[in-house]
Structures are given as C-alpha cells and as structure tokens.
Copies of this chain bind each other. A is one copy, B any other.
C-alpha cells in the first residue's frame, strides 16, 4: 500500500494529476502510513515498559490528525482545522464507539467493560467538551477578538496541564488501582507481549512514517478547496467528515477488531481515549502553535459544531455509563452520527 501510495503521491503532484484523484491517493497513503505508525508505537511501548509506553502511545496516538491540522493551520484554513477537531471528536465518540458496540454485539449478546475507566472518562469528557469548549463559545459572544484569544490561550494551557495530570494519575499515582477484578489474568499476560519490531527499527519506522505523513498531509491540505467544489462539499463537511475519517482510520480499524475479539475495555479506551487526546491535547496545542502563525485560532467552534459535540458526549455517557454494550446501543450511536453527518452535509 505504502510502496505504491508514496511514489504515486510524489509522482502525481509533480505531474499535476487531477486534484480529485490526488486527494484520494493522498488520503489512502496517509491511512496506510498511520497504520505503520501505530505498529511502530506499539513495538516501542513493549520495549520501554508500560509507563513510557503509555506516554508514547498517548503522544503519537493522534499524531496524524495533529500533522494534518498543523498544515491546514499554516495555510490559514482555521475553519477546516476546527471542523477536523469536531470531526475527530464525533468520529471517535460516535463512529468508532458505535461500530465497535454494533459489530461486537452481532457476535456477543452482552459485552462488558471496565466501569471505573468509563466513569473516569465521563468526567473528563464533560470537563473537556462541556466546560472547556462551551465556555469560550458563550463568553466570546460578548468579548472582542483579543480577549477571546487570551481566554483560548488560558484554557489551552489548563487543558494541557490537566491532560498531563491525567497521564500522571493513570501511569504513576493510581496505576492499577481501578483494575476490574476479572481483568487480572489478562494483565500479567499483557506484559509478556512480544514486539513486532526491534527497538531501533521501530523508532526508525516511526520517524520515517511521521515525516512521510507530514509530506503527504501538506499536499492533501491544498486539495481541499478544489475537491469541495468538485463534489459540492463545504469546508465544514470536508473537515468534519472527510478529514476526520482519514485521520482516524487506523483507530477505527483496531477498535472494531478489539470489539470483535470481545476485548471491549480496549475498544472503549481507544474510542474515548482518542477523543480526550483530541480535546485535551491536540486542540489546545494547535491554539498555542497558532500564536506563531499569521492567523490566530481561538478555541471557538461554530454553534452546530459545538452542539454536535455536546450532544455526542451526553449520548456517549448515557449509553456507556453502565459498563455494558449490545448491538442496539451501537446502532443508536451510529444513528446519531448519521444524523449529524446529514446535518453537516446540508449546512
């Protein structure tokens, strides 16, 4: 896939192939590279042990979204960046979680996952989306741009600090404290995992894949305008649906595979953990990076984006709060994603 996609990406951009075709090639290449990055991160995590591994996973887990958003930000496409953040939240929380519950539920009648983690994550989702995203939106109505950006910077710093505190809590002060009892056996097995690649090879692959993603992402970002015109898609729709699916394809695949293997703890962790990374790490980092760019990005979403995220969080909490899933809960979450997709398409 990469062996074909990467050369095609370079060749196509040199020979000025049709933009829509290049958009598809770039997208598929990024999806393939992202899966390599995921495998490399996992290998490194096995070599370094769970603490450093958890940290690396948390940092590189959404590297692709971060890279795409970085180049969109550099190109001044603030609307697309905010939309892609919205789309990543909706995609992880509704599409990934919904598909996991649905596909897993087709095979198993009832699936369980760790309630402690689900509740810990509920609190953070409410904090990140309902407090940290809603407050600047509402307060910005009565502020000028300078104050709005100042508020965004303040909130971004708080978000990143709390994200680091969450890692410290999970990996240091409360490691293993909230393990569910039945997971006990699986836990010891986890540490004996063998790495796919050696440490040095994994680091090399991770670096090369990241560089390649960066190269392709920069090209991808510049196709958005023409692709939008060709298909009649708005910038918002491209950001919320298209970029989000490309940027999160790797997580989607692994969460669904885990659900199908009845490892719901991991499936839910991927879906919700990824959402939290986007909201508490990727989004605020982008706000802070934008200080050095021509156009600053305040943490102010459009009202449809914000309401979609808020209702997605409330739905995810209402459905996941009991620590059990079935196919119908998956269908409900997917129906919510579909409704929002239609909404953003028509907007």
Contact = CB atoms under 8 A, between A and B. Distances in A.
A24 interface: no
A12 to B, nearest CB: 35
Interface string A331-347: 11001101110110011
| Chain A contact residues: helix, strand, loop or mixed | helix
A143 interface: yes
Given A127-B336, A318-B126, A343 B169 contact: no
Interface string A96-127: 00000000000001100000100100111111
Contact of A332 (B123, B174, B347): B123
A157 to B, nearest CB: 10
A119 B326 contact: no
A201 interface: no
Contacts of A119: 321-322
Contacts of A165: 328, 331
A315 B154 contact: no
Interface stretch (A45-53, A54-62, A133-141): A133-141
Contacts of A346: 139, 143, 147, 150-151
A116 B7 CA distance: 54
A303 to B, nearest CB: 6
A166 interface: yes
List the number of copies, as a whole number.
3
Contacts of A304: 138-139, 142
A332 B127 contact: yes
Nearest to A343: B139
Nearest to A168: B328
B162 A315 contact: no
A131 interface: yes
A335 B162 contact: yes
A253 interface: no
B138 A307 contact: yes
Interface in A154-176: 154-155, 158-159, 161-162, 165-166, 169, 173-174
Contacts of A240: none
Contacts of A340: 131, 135
Contacts of A181: none
Given A126-B311, A131-B339, A173-B328, 11 more contacts: A123-B318, A127-B315, A132-B336, A132-B339, A142-B347, A143-B346, A151-B342, A158-B339, A162-B332, A166-B328, A169-B327
Interface of A: 109-110, 116, 119, 122-127, 130-132, 134-136, 138-139, 141-143, 147, 150-151, 154-155, 158-159, 161-162, 165-166, 169, 173-174, 177, 303-304, 307-308, 311-312, 314-315, 317-319, 321-322, 326-329, 331-332, 335-336, 338-340, 342-343, 346-347
